[in-house]
Amino acid sequence: MFNAICINKDDSGYRAELQSLDESALPEGDVTVKVEWSTLNYKDGLAITGKSPVVRRFPMVPGIDFAGTVTQSSNPAWKTGDAVILNGWGVGESYWGGLAQVARVKGDWLVPLPKGLTARQSMEIGTAGYTAMLCVLALEKHGVQPADGEILVTGANGGVGSVAIALLSKLGFTVVASTGRTNEADYLKTLGATSVIERAELSTPGKPIGKERWAGVVDSVGSHTLANACATTKYRSAVTACGLAGGMDFPGSVAPFILRGVTLYGIDSVMAPMDLRLQAWKRLATDLDVSKLSAITREIGLLQSIAVAKELLDGTVRGRVVVNVNH
């Protein structure tokens, strides 16, 4: 038997609750993992609360990522005792996820825990931090360098934003953090932000094209924020879009793209190819100042994840939430 958050939808309605399940209930898969740590991400908040139709089948164990140790494997890539991480692949949406003490998945979805990181640290980073690294890799591939100017990070108090700031600052970039919680400015500056701007500067309708400012952008907000970021990005620079906390729409103009040659990169963390995942996790293990993780992270137990999911959607959670599935 093991404990898990289980989501059901039936005549009684939509509900998430802590349940004790028999391992015989686990779905098909060629690797079984004893989960040690999981996290709460924005998508998990949507799944647990039912605010968006994220969950594809019921019953569902949410949790789009986890870290743990292999206990059984028929996949030649993994053996008992291997330390592994999982991010994405529809886990927590279409397949049972990481908010549980045991998970069974396809071995092809797993990556090894990088040397230099503990299982807990890997989940303090989690999908949010892995996504932030994918954004940084895209900016680097575009050729963006610290000497080019300021990098804008929107949704700065969230998981993606917090890790992006820490990564970019360690790499030598000048980071401007955009947030609706300017009372958290000191926290953002401890992560490495040079300055902090009010979210409202970007979140309301703006001009099709504005004064050039940003050498690069990491955006987890979408909607007007993304449109305004594109409109104020420098000639032939790049914007990475990885989230929709402010909305799924893009009320912008083609002007930044055809007049300034701005490139908009869509960042998909869910189905990213394995070589890119391995590169991202390798870089996280070397380029992220792990001493900053404690400031970014809040630890909760498995049952608490139901209440904290609502806090996450309300925008009151700072940084990352790591879940100790055994408490």
- The residue type of 60 is M
- The residue type of 52 is S
Q: pLDDT per residue over 165-184, tens digit each?
A: 999 999 999 999 999 999 99
Residue recorded with tokens 């999982």 = 86
Instruction: Residue 87: name the closest of 301, 318, 278, 297 by CA.
Output: 278
Q: pLDDT per residue over 10-26, tens digit each?
A: 998 999 999 999 999 99
Give the pLDDT of residue 5. 98
| CB neighbours of residue 167 within 10 Å | 27
**127, pLDDT greater than 90:** yes
Q: pLDDT per residue over 228-257, tens digit each?
A: 999 999 999 999 999 998 999 999 999 999
Backbone angles phi, psi at 325, to 5 degrees: -70, -10
**Hey, where are the domains in the chain?**
2-113+293-324, 126-266
Question: Is residue 156 classed exposed, middle or buried when 0-12, 13-18 and 19+ CB atoms within 10 A define those classes?
Answer: buried
Residue recorded with tokens 């949507």 = 46
Q: What is the mean pLDDT of residues 82-105?
A: 97
Q: CATH number of the domain at 126-266, please? A: 3.40.50.720
Q: pLDDT per residue over 147-169, tens digit each?
A: 999 999 999 999 999 999 999 99
For the ranges 59-68, 277-286, 310-319, which has the lowest average pLDDT? 310-319
Report the topology of domain 2-113+293-324. Answer: Quinone Oxidoreductase; Chain A, domain 1 (3.90.180)
Residue recorded with tokens 């990070």 = 153
